[in-house]
């Protein structure tokens, strides 16, 4: 039987290990709101005009996460109340049985 070598590739920004969060990616008035899987804005947040996907996500310990799996979600402060409303509605809906 032939053996197949599995090669696991991870994707990081070149300077990923120089940072411990995505604050260096933020523009004036923006905040990091969390990480998302993939490279697209989740559908429930698409109504937010200032939301965008950042380049490099980090875990709670400041270690970079594989860009092929996770990216940071970034939002302008002006839309934070609307983001919170959407988030709260989603959490309430998920708690219903």
pLDDT digits (tens, 9 = 90+) for 10-44: 789 989 999 999 999 999 999 999 999 989 999 99
pLDDT of residue 96: 66
Measured CA to CA, the distance from residue 76 to residue 97 in angstroms comes to 34
Measured CA to CA, the distance from residue 13 to residue 16 in angstroms comes to 5
Confidence band for 78, pLDDT divided at 50, 70 and 90: very high
pTM of the model: 0.81
Assess contact for 58 and 21: CB atoms under 8 A. Answer: yes
Assess contact for 65 and 58: CB atoms under 8 A. Answer: yes
Measured CA to CA, the distance from residue 20 to residue 57 in angstroms comes to 9
DSSP 53: E
Please determine, for residue 7, whether its predicted confidence score (pLDDT) is greater than 80. Answer: no
Please determine, for residue 93, whether its predicted confidence score (pLDDT) is greater than 90. Answer: no
Domain ranges within the chain, ordered by starting residue: 16-95
Least confident of 7-11, 62-66, 82-86: 7-11
């Amino acid at each position: 039987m032939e053996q197949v070598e599995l090669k696991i590739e991870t994707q990081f920004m070149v300077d990923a290990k120089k940072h411990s969060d995505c604050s260096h990616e933020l523009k004036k008035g923006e905040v990091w709101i969390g990480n998302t899987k993939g490279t697209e804005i989740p559908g429930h947040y698409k109504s937010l005009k200032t939301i965008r996907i950042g380049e490099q996500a980090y875990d709670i310990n400041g270690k970079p996460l594989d860009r092929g799996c996770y990216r940071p979600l970034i939002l302008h402060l002006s839309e934070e109340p609307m983001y919170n409303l959407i988030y709260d509605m989603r959490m309430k809906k998920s708690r219903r049985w």
